[in-house]
Amino acid sequence: MVDRLEDATVGEIVAADSRAAGVFDRFGIDFCCGGRRSLTDACRSAAADPSAVVNALGTLPPRAQGHTDVGDWRLDRIIDHIIATHHSYVRSVIPTISCHLATLRDVHGARHPELACIATVFDELGADLEQHLAKEEHVIFPYIRDLAEHAERGFGVFLSPFGTVETPLAMLEREHREAADEMRVIRELTDGYAVPADGCATYAACMSELEEFEHDLHQHVHLENNVLFPKAVALEHAPRLPNGR
Ligand SMILES: [Fe+2]
Ligand SMILES: [Fe+2]
């Protein structure tokens, strides 16, 4: 955990100890796209009592000796983890959720007209995310791996085809905000993924799939915005850091 919680950003706090994500979720604090805000500012936005949040963080038991969090990992391990965990999850569930939403729209759309809008927003989000993941896997992540390898071997300044890696990272962060905004719209339209009294088993399954999808998106965006991207920027500014960290 970081030294003075009030001075740290919420992204830094979760990067230092991933269990803080559960505490922030409980208080409605956005730590992914809003990860660069101080704990004080983030609490203000979420109407949460900062001392209650600090107390909750303080009750997390100490880590076992030798435990490493994802923020301590090498860059290539973080990238492998993001692809294996989050990218593969997104690709596997988008067709299922999309199909369930189409069924709900057709079966329940007359009594729940918001389902048509939810299905449209989710389909747009799915298409946007497919492009986003491809950009990361084929362009940005290979570049970050090269940057880390270059620094680890102690080579000189690494010439970026982008001018600076911060330019494509800013574009990816903007796309993260857009995806999070689309999921926020879906959460509001579903009244927090609530199942109506006349909802069937598919309705219930689809609401829990959407809730899980949003939760995974927050974890995924956090790992990129608050852990991977700052490490890549630091490497570009200090290309001789050892061990690719
Ligand atoms: Fe990603
Ligand atoms: Fe991303």
Q: If you measure from the C-alpha of residue 80 to the centroid of ligand 1, how many angstroms do you get, rounded to a whole number? A: 11
Rounded average pLDDT over 204-216 = 96
Ligand nearest to the CA of 87: 1
pLDDT digits (tens, 9 = 90+) for 134-191: 999 999 999 999 888 888 777 666 667 777 888 999 999 999 999 999 999 999 999 9
Is residue 91 helix, strand or coil? Answer: helix
For residues 74-90, average pLDDT: 96
Is pLDDT larger for residue 243 or for residue 101?
101
144-182 in b/e burial notation, b at 16+ Cβ within 10 A? bbebbebbbeeeeebeeeeeebbebbeebbebbeebbeb
Q: Quick one: which ligand is closest to 81's CA? A: 1
Question: Whose atoms come closest to the Cα of 174: which ligand?
Answer: 2
Judged by its nearest atom, the ligand closest to the C-alpha of residue 172 is 2
d(CA 89, CA 156): 37
Give distance in angstroms: CA of 229 to centre of ligand 2.
10
Q: Which amino acid is at 218?
A: H
d(CA 84, CA 65): 27
Q: What pLDDT shows up at residue 244?
A: 41
Place of tokens 């090498």: 74
Instruction: List phi, psi (to 5°) of 122.
Output: -65, -40
Q: Could you say which ligand is closest to the alpha carbon of residue 86?
A: 1
DSSP 8-state class, residue 140 = I
Separation between Cα atoms, residue 244 and residue 144, nearest integer Å: 10
**220 C-alpha vs ligand 2 centroid, how far in Å?**
7
Instruction: Using the mean position of ligand 1's atoms as its centre, give its distance from the Cα of residue 70 in Å.
Output: 15
